[in-house]
Amino acid sequence: MNSDRSSYGRHLDDDAIQGLLDAAEGRADAETRSARRHLADCPACQGRVDAWREVFGELGRLRRFSPPGRFAERVLSEIDLPGEASSSSRAWSWVRLRRWLTGRAADAHLSGRRLQALADGALPRKRAILAKAHVATCGDCETRLAGWRRLIATLEALPSFAPAAGFAERVMARWREVAEEATGRGQAAQRWRLLPRSPRGWVLAGTLTSMPVAAFAAVAAFLSTVPQLTTGGLVTYLWWQARDALSAFGSSLLAAVMQSGAAFRAYSLAEYLIASPTTAVAAAAGFTTLMLSSIWVLHRNIGFPRFALRHVYN
Amino acid sequence: MSLNYQSVEDAELVTLAAEGRESAYRELLSRYERPVFSLIYRMVRNRTLAEDLAQEAFIRTFNAIDTYNPQYKFSSWIFKIANNLTIDHLRKRRVPTVSMHGAPDAVTAEAQARTSLVVRSPGESPEEYVQNRELAGQIEAAIGELRDEYRVVVLLRHIEGHTYDEIARIMDIPLGTVKTYLHRARAELKLRLAEA
């Protein structure tokens, strides 16, 4: 250490000289300014500063060494980039394992599939970064990538074709026809839905319908063999029977109504409504609303064709 | 108040169409007539047939509008219907490939002109038209020689701009298969263009 004093004051030590040289280009503080003042008058320190300057110069002229090829690629493959899914990390572990197993070098050329995906913007972020890092240092892959990019650009520049004029009108017209046909088919299907749909069904339906016809025919055949019976007599007999049955049904219905008190309640209700016109009007309105609602529900669910177009403009 | 259908999203248009608004159907038709026709045309390579198939695709879509699932894009749905229809047609009846320069059986100049595909972008100069026609001719011919499935994925990806996921949904195939098809299709195209 140079700690001796001279007529120019205390000599500069090595730290002070190095600090002085480091600060040569920068902003000088009070200590540096003091050191410079001393240096201007001290030949001994000037000589030491020159020696140090030479060392600094040698250090500054040292060569920069480039990292080995695919250095960035290898570094990136070892780090987890933010935003990557865990599945992607697993995938990369698998990629590294496969490389280790197959002995494939990390800086091998990119496959055509990967280059296509890169050109198409379909590679996941991490793989895209790695692929781009490789392409940046590999002329062969760069050329191949440019080829894929040209192909994709050519495809994407292809024009679209328009159908002939009036296509939309034709589609709409045809759609209406199809809707009407479907509606017609639906109504026809509704109409004939009770008919059998197979030969077996037709046989069964035929048997069922022919049974009462056969029974009637058998009775008629038997009656025709009795000589006392005439057609007029038979008709008169059946008419009497029908009239008696109807009369008995009417009598029993009337008796049931009278016994249940429904007629009395209906009469009381009518009397009450006639006595209060407001109630009568409200009842009439309610009844009308109920009827209209019922008709609307029936119209929507039964009468409205399923495929019919409803022309609602705007 | 009149509704401006052009500014309405597809999903909303479908809802309006399902309510029976004919204008909503017309707007959907106007938006998709060109892309749907284009896809089918490049598949079957016959304008009349393509129009028939596109018309059928729209009718099927409109008739089933009540069954549309808004979870997916309408474009995916209509392309799926159009694609299924076209693939079914191609499987039932193998369509002969038509060259950009006319049908194979077109022997006269008039027949060649009638059956040739003319591709022209709007606003280009006559020189560009000639160059583009030539370029488009090569690539169109190369596309036409691809397998049906490869052709569909290429068209859906690079002409219609669908994502890989959407293509998988449209074609009802796994995502990995879409990637494989695309890779092979582009490799074939590149090879054919290099040979041309």
Is the pLDDT assigned to residue B195 strictly greater than 90?
no
SS3 A138: coil
Asked if residue B64 is part of any domain, the answer here is yes
Indicate whether B4 belongs to any domain: yes
The CA–CA distances, whole Å, from A277 to A265, A273, A280, B146 equal 19, 6, 5, 84
Do B92 and B27 belong together in one domain? yes
**Where residue B112 falls among pLDDT bands split at 50, 70, 90?**
low
pLDDT of residue A310: 45
Whether residues B90 and B145 fall in one domain = no
Whether B168 shows a pLDDT value over 90: the answer reads: yes
Which of A274, A180, A217, A151 minimizes the C-alpha distance to B183?
A151
Encode B80-130 in three state secondary structure.
HHHHHHHHHHHHHCCCCCCECCECCCCCCHHHHHHHCCCCCCCCCCHHHHH
- B19 and chain A: CB distance < 8 Å anywhere? yes
CA-nearest residue of chain A to B28? Answer: A168
Q: Pick the residue with more confidence: B51 or A95?
A: B51
Considering only the beta carbons, identify the residue of A113, A167, A307 that sits closest to B33. Answer: A167
CB contact under 8 A, B62 and A175: yes
Instruction: Point out the residues of chain A with pLDDT beneath 50.
Output: 1-3, 82-88, 304-314
pLDDT at A229: 77
The fraction of chain B above a pLDDT of 70, given in percent, is: 77
Question: Is the pTM above the cut of 0.80?
Answer: no
User: CATH number of the domain that B140 lies in?
Assistant: 1.10.10.10
Q: Where are the domains of chain A?
A: 5-60, 84-156, 174-228, 230-257, 261-314
Q: pLDDT-based confidence at B194, cuts 50/70/90?
A: confident
Instruction: Measure in Å the smallest separation between the Cα of A93 and chain B Cα atoms.
Output: 20
Per-residue pLDDT at B136 exceeds 80: no
For the cut 60, the answer to whether the pLDDT of residue B135 exceeds it is no
* B2 CB within 8 Å of a chain A CB: yes
CATH 1.25.10 assigned to A84-156: no
Model confidence at B132, pLDDT cuts 50, 70, 90, reads very low
Amino acid B88: pLDDT: 92
| Cα atoms in the 13 Å half-sphere on the side-chain side of A140 | 6
CATH code for the domain of B81 = 1.10.1740.10
ipTM above 0.85, yes or no: no
Interchain proximity A112–B38, CB inside 8 Å: no
* Residue B138 predicted with pLDDT over 60: yes
Nearest to B3 by CA among A310, A313, A168: A313
Of A155, A84, A152, A87, which Cα lies nearest the Cα of A118? Answer: A152
Say yes or no: B79 contacts chain A, CB-CB below 8 A. Answer: no
| Number of domains composing chain B | 2
Nearest to B153 by CA among B123, B118, B127, B179: B179
* Closest chain B residue by Cα to residue A309: B20
Instruction: Evaluate whether residue B136 is within a structural domain.
Output: yes
Residue-number span of the structural domain to which B25 is assigned: 1-96
Highest mean pLDDT among A254-258, B125-129, B160-164: B160-164
Q: In the structure encoding, which two tokens stand for residue A87, read together?
A: 């599945």
Q: Do B135 and A154 touch (CB under 8 A)?
A: yes
